[in-house]
Structures are given as structure tokens and as C-alpha cells.
């Protein structure tokens, strides 16, 4: 057996370089559910796990023709290095996209990144020293937690409810941090159609959150991949629209194509300069080909119509999810009702642990992500994230049916045997 074929846990034990890694690399371990995800990709399993956009809804032939034309017409620049800040034509277009959420930005304020994930990594790199406090929602996006953990941040979760981040809880977290003689480096928030919670920060809370952060001198990082994917209303006004000090992160992953890997940060001048320097040291510059593909897509294709199509498609899938859940989920289950985006956040009945239940769900041919991945402290065991963006409504219906039946069996086990059945107490 080669080292690659060994299970991750065993590989780590036999890793000959273990004493040589930097301290920050020690915390970088594969998630324990990664192996289950490989199984979840099998066609017989309905995966409500991964957050993949449904790219098959794109006009693939038209995009293919456009890419061919791009190389024929602009191959000399599309296949060449570019500046680390990114293509200026694309940055102009990005400002038009941000204007849909009432942000007035200048192309000079934009730094193009490899998806918004790289923007998170670059921000962590320029702001976080080991042990620095970062405030995030409870729960929070797993990729952001991974980026912050890689720089050894001390992540503090702040409570949310159905209207998003709770202002009083934020004030309290800031106060507690200060009382401990520390200062948070920034607040990381996903205000629209939250991943994983599916909730949206209410309009009435937005000024209050900005005001609290302003008074505390706390930088706000607004991560907004789903803002244009609302089902029932026009896009909300971005936090960045009311405060030029906010660092805004955007991406084309959900509104065009995740595989293109183009996102951006809009940031105040000083932060922007650091981001550009950090990006230079990471990648020299980003893919010119990807950037020009997005630029051409925005210039030549009906991208606003395409976003409308995506919204309708995801709305149907959200509806399929919620109606199946309300018909089939056993008593004691509670869930959020997203107005856009990809995710429903499910609270399981007391005494049912989502991670312990996952192997049994996989055996019943349905997959989800246990809530623990969305908390830096490993709490959240009673929760599961269900993603409806990829499976068809029929498959969603079948997946929810299977999941509901697995939960019913868990409830039965809990009632018959209690914690002795291997089911942990609620958090």
C-alpha cells in the first residue's frame, strides 16, 4: 500500500515530516467527513451535501463559442501574465455588478481574486497573527473557518436568528473580547442567504450592525456570493453601500461558473495595497484566461437573464425541499426557510447527533453536511446543512424522504436505548 492509499488518520501517524511542519500547518487536517463525501458522490446517493451550483443550466454551447472567439481575438492577452490587481476591463464590469446592490465603486478599488475563497485567505494573511480574535456568525461558512484556522485565529461565534446576526449578541461579543484585554481584528459576515444557515440579515439590522462595528473600530468583511440569487425580492442593499470602510467580497462562482475561479474584493486603499502584495507573493497574478472569459461573458452574453434563470431554477428546488420537509420531517425537527441561495439549516430533535447519524444516512443513500463543520469549536452537532442547488426537485423529494426515515429510526433508537446507543446528548 502506498502512503496515498492509506487512510488520512494513518498517514498522519506515519508522516515522516511531522516534526518539521510550521505550527500553523499542524491544525490543517482533512475533515473527518471527507471520506464520506467520496461515497456521497456515488450516483445512487442523493447528495444534499456539497454546495455545487447547477452549471448545466448555462448555455454551454454559446459559452464555448465565446471562449473560442476570445482566444482568436484576444489570445495574446488572455494567455499572458497580467497585473495582480486584475484586468481593468473586468474590474469595470465588476463595478456594474456591484451596482445591482447599490454599491458605488470605482474599478481602482477592486482586486480580482481566485474566487472569494482566495480573498478570505489573503485577508487572513494580512490581518491575523496567531491567537488574534475574529468574530463570525454562529454557524459560519466552513471555508472561511478553514482560512482563519490556517492563520491560527481565535474564532468567536456570534449568535444569529431568523433575521441574521443579532446586534445585541455582537455588542456583547465585542465587550467580552475587550474585557479579556483583546481586540477583534474583524467581523466576518455573510448577510444574504447565509451559508450554511440560509437566513438573511434584516434590512432594519444592517445600520445597527455597521454602527456597532464603527463605534468599536471593528473592520467588517462582507462576503456576498448569493446576494443576486434572491427568490422573492430585489437584491438587498449591500453593507458596503452604506460604509466605504467595509471590505466586500464577491464571486462569479454562483452567478456564472464556479470552475472559472474568479472573485473579487473591494477594499479601502490601504487594505487593497496589502491584498495586491499578498496576491503577488501567492500567485504572481491571477489567470488572465479566466478573467477575460468573465469579462467577455459579461460583455457579450445575456448574463442578467441567466441570473434570472438561475433564480427560478433554485427557487423550484428550494420549494421542493421545503414542501418535502414540511410533509415528511418527524416532530422535533426545525429548519430555516431561505429566501434565496442554496441552503437549509436543519435542527434535529434533541439527543440526535448529525455526525453520528451520517454513516447511517449514507447507507440509506442520502448525504448532508453535519453542523459541526460550521463551528470552530466543534459544536453544532444537533444541526445539518442541506443544499438543494444541485439535485433535481424529484431527487430532492426522494432525498428528504430517505433522510426523514433515517431521523425517525434515530429517534426510535434514542427512545429505546438513549445515549447508550452511541447518540450524544444535545449541545
- Distance in Å, CB of 124 to ligand PLP, minimum: 13
DSSP assignment letter at 161: E
Bridge partners of 112, per DSSP, are 264
Closest CA to 343 of 371, 376, 303: 371
Pick the piece of the chain touching ligand PLP (CB under 6 A) from 111-119, 230-238, 300-308, 403-411: 111-119
Q: Measured from the CB of residue 120, what is the shortest distance to ligand PLP in angstroms? A: 7
Of 15-23, 115-123, 281-289, 359-367: span binding ligand PLP (CB under 6 A): 115-123
Closest CA to 31 of 358, 333, 254, 260: 358
CB of 417 to ligand PLP, least distance (A): 37
Measured from the CB atom, the residue of 201 and 324 that comes closer to ligand PLP is 201
Binding mask 79-98 for ligand PLP (x = CB under 6 A): --------------------
**Closer of 51 and 380 to ligand PLP (Cβ):** 51
According to the binding rule CB under 6 A, does residue 141 interact with ligand PLP? yes
Binding test (CB under 6 A) with ligand PLP, winner from 135, 166, 190, 247 = 190
Q: CA-to-CA distance for 258 and 55, rounded, in angstroms? A: 8
Mask 13-52, x = binds ligand PLP (CB under 6 A)?
A: --------------------------------------x-
How far, in Å, CA of 245 to CA of 271, rounded? Answer: 10
* Termini Cα distance of the chain: 40
List the one residue out of 406, 327, 324 whose CA is nearest residue 365: 406
d(CA 94, CA 99): 9
116 near ligand PLP, rule: CB under 6 A: yes
Q: Minimum Å distance from CB 140 to ligand PLP?
A: 9
The SS3 assignment for 118 reads helix
* 340 forms part of the interface with ligand PLP (CB under 6 A): no
Distance from the Cα of residue 209 to its chain's centroid: 21
Is 227 a binding residue for ligand PLP by CB under 6 A? The answer is no
- Name the residue number minimizing CB distance to ligand PLP: 115
Of the candidates 66, 258, 328, 427, which one interacts with ligand PLP according to CB under 6 A?
258
Site string for ligand PLP, 207-226 (x = CB under 6 A): ----------------x-x-
Listed ranges 5-13, 124-132, 229-237, 250-258: which one lies at the site for ligand PLP (CB under 6 A): 250-258
- The stretches of 284-392 forming alpha helices (DSSP H) are 288-300, 303-328, 354-363
Output the CA angle 344-195-317, nearest 5 degrees.
Answer: 40
Closest CB to ligand PLP among residues 113, 306? 113
For cell 429517534, the residue is 411
Taking the complex as a whole, the smallest distance from the CB of residue 262 to ligand PLP amounts, in Å, to 8
Residue 91 cell numbers, joined: 474590474
Backbone angles phi and psi of 138, in degrees to 5: -115, 105
Residue of 47, 117, 192, 288 that binds ligand PLP (CB under 6 A): 117
- CB crowding 11-28: b at 16 or more within 10 Å, else e: eeeeeeeeeeeeeeeeee
Q: Is 291 in the site for ligand PLP (CB under 6 A)?
A: no
DSSP 89-109: HHHHHHHHHHHTTT----GGG
CA atoms within 13 A on the CB side of 169: 16
Rule CB under 6 A: which residues touch ligand PLP? 51, 115-117, 141, 143, 190, 195, 223, 225, 251, 253, 258, 263
Amino acid at each position: 500500500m502506498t502512503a496515498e492509499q492509506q487512510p488520512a488518520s494513518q498517514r498522519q501517524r506515519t508522516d515522516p515530516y511531522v516534526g518539521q511542519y510550521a505550527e500553523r500547518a499542524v491544525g490543517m487536517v482533512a475533515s473527518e467527513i471527507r471520506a464520506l463525501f467520496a461515497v456521497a458522490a456515488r450516483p445512487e446517493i442523493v447528495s444534499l451535501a456539497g454546495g455545487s451550483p447547477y452549471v448545466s443550466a448555462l448555455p454551454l454551447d454559446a459559452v464555448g463559442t465565446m471562449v473560442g472567439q476570445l482566444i482568436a481575438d484576444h489570445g495574446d492577452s488572455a494567455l499572458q501574465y497580467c497585473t495582480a490587481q486584475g484586468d481593468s476591463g473586468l474590474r469595470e464590469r465588476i463595478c456594474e455588478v456591484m451596482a445591482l446592490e447599490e454599491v458605488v465603486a470605482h474599478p481602482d478599488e477592486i482586486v480580482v481574486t481566485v474566487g472569494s475563497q482566495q480573498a478570505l485567505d489573503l485577508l487572513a494573511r494580512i490581518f491575523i497573527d496567531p491567537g488574534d480574535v475574529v468574530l463570525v456568525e454562529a454557524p459560519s461558512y466552513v471555508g472561511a473557518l478553514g482560512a482563519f484556522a490556517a492563520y491560527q485565529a481565535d474564532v468567536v461565534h456570534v449568535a444569529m436568528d431568523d433575521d441574521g446576526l443579532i446586534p445585541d449578541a455582537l455588542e456583547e461579543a465585542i465587550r467580552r473580547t475587550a474585557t479579556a484585554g483583546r481586540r477583534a481584528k474583524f467581523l466576518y459576515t455573510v448577510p444574504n442567504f447565509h451559508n450554511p444557515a440560509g437566513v438573511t440579515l434584516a434590512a432594519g439590522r444592517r445600520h445597527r450592525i455597521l454602527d456597532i462595528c464603527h463605534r468599536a473600530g471593528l473592520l467588517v468583511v462582507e462576503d456576498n456570493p448569493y446576494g443576486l440569487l434572491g427568490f422573492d425580492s430585489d437584491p438587498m442593499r449591500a453593507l458596503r453601500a452604506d460604509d466605504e470602510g467595509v471590505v466586500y467580497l464577491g464571486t462569479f462562482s454562483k452567478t456564472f461558473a464556479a470552475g472559472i475561479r474568479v472573485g473579487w474584493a473591494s477594499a479601502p486603499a490601504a487594505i487593497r495595497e496589502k491584498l495586491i502584495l499578498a496576491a503577488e507573493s501567492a500567485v504572481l497574478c491571477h489567470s488572465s484566461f479566466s478573467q477575460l472569459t468573465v469579462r467577455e461573458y459579461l460583455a457579450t452574453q445575456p448574463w442578467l437573464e441567466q441570473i434570472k434563470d438561475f433564480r427560478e431554477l433554485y427557487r423550484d428546488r428550494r420549494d421542493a425541499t421545503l414542501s418535502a420537509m414540511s410533509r415528511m420531517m418527524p416532530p422535533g425537527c426545525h429548519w430555516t426557510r431561505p429566501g434565496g441561495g442554496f441552503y437549509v439549516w436543519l435542527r434535529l430533535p434533541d439527543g440526535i447527533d448529525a455526525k453520528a447519524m451520517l454513516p447511517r444516512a449514507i447507507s440509506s443513500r442520502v448525504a448532508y453536511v453535519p453542523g459541526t463543520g460550521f463551528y470552530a469549536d466543534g459544536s453544532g452537532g444537533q444541526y445539518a446543512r442541506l443544499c438543494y442547488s444541485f439535485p433535481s426537485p424529484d431527487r430532492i423529494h426522494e432525498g428528504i424522504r430517505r433522510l426523514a426515515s433515517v431521523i425517525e429510526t434515530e429517534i426510535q433508537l434514542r427512545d429505546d436505548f438513549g445515549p447508550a446507543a452511541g447518540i450524544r446528548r444535545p449541545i
